[in-house]
Amino acid sequence: MSDTAEVKTLVIDGQEVSAVRGQTILEVARENDIQIPTLCHLEGLTDVGACRLCVVEIKGSNKLFPACVTSIYEGMEVSTNSERLQKHRRMILELLFTERNHICSVCVANGHCELQSLAQDLGLTHVRLPYRNPELTIDASHERFTADHNRCILCTRCVRVCAEVEGAHVWDVMGRGINSMIITDLHENWGESTCTRCGKCVQVCPTGALYDKGKIGSDHPKYPDFLPYLNLMREAR
């Protein structure tokens, strides 16, 4: 911490906490063991506020704020778990489930999936909206990995880890809105792309969208914790 750091005090869920200028609500909440659900956020990557699972309420405003990209300020009063927020989070999850094809029982991530666990944590037992059933591709051209677009939630963790940590920037997003797709290079097959075969994207993917061909069946635990560790080691050098 630099000595120009300015300490701020704020209230999260009725608890008085102190923070440093420039920190996000999410960072401060986690430091104080206040759990806010997230999907696109991953420690070690830049935040982009893509999934909106982390929305919180700030006293004095009717709007909802994504905790991962909202900076704290002195005297801020944050509420992270109201009925209203839970309702919105469940709706977001329902939309994610309807948007693509999530067949958990035959998915490699079954039992190790952040989307699935969040649905369970937030008490989702069914989806009230009709499923879209889009026709999507599976890219199995890579020698080691597969990209199954049916399971992608467009969190862009793969894009960010590849660009920011591996430095290869193989992954990107193509299209807009509901037609967005993650692609490798300029929409080349993954197997023919400039992929360095490091596998970081597979480990950070929260769902069964990116997986290791060596892990067959519905048992594909991921280990995204390598990221903060890797960053720490790099800083130490």
Partner 1 sequence: MSKLKLATAWLDGCSGCHMSFLDMDERLLELAEFVDLVYSPLVDLKDFPDQVDITLVEGAVASVDDEAKIKKIRAHTKMLIAIGDCAITGNVPSMRNPIGPEPILDRAYIENATLQPQIPCVVVPKLLKVVRPVHEFVEVDVFLPGCPPSADTFHTALTAIISGEPLDIPALTRFGA
List of residues contacting partner 1 (CB under 8 A): 97, 101-107, 110-111, 116-117, 119-128, 130-131, 133-136, 218
159: contact with ligand FES by CB under 6 A: no
Residue 15-54 contact track with ligand FES, rule CB under 6 A, x = bound: -----------------------xxxx-------xxxxxx
Name which of partner 1, ligand SF4, ligand FES, none residue 152 binds, using a CB cut-off of 5 to 8 Å depending on partner kind: ligand SF4
68: contact with ligand FES by CB under 6 A: yes
Among 85, 152, 168, 170, the residue binding ligand SF4 under the rule CB under 6 A is 152
205 touches 107 (CB < 8 A): no
Nearer to ligand SF4, 80 or 146 (CB): 146
Residue type, 154: L
3-state secondary structure of 2: coil
Using CA atoms, how far apart are residues 154 and 134, in angstroms rounded to an integer?
15
Residue 159's H or E segment, with its range, is helix 157-160
Name which of ligand FES, ligand SF4, partner 1, none residue 224 binds, using a CB cut-off of 5 to 8 Å depending on partner kind: none
Q: Count of residues binding ligand SF4 (CB under 6 A)?
A: 26
Specify the pairing of strand 145-148 against strand 55-58. unpaired
> Which of these ranges, 7-15, 61-69, 202-210, 227-235, lies near ligand SF4 under the rule CB under 6 A?
202-210
Residue 65's H or E segment, with its range, is strand 64-66
Q: Which of residues 27-66 bind ligand SF4 (CB under 6 A)?
A: none
157: contact with ligand FES by CB under 6 A: no
Nearer to ligand FES, 118 or 201 (CB): 118
Structure tokens at 224: 């995204």
CB of 210 to ligand FES, least distance (A): 18
How many C-alpha atoms does 142 have within 13 Å on its Cβ side? 23
CB-based contacts of 198: which residues, under 8 Å, 6+ apart? 166, 168
Choose among 131, 136, 53, 120: nearest CA to 98. Answer: 131
Residue 96 φ/ψ, nearest 5 degrees = -65, -40
Where does this chain bind ligand SF4 (CB under 6 A)? Answer: 102-105, 107, 109-110, 113, 115-116, 151-158, 182, 204-210
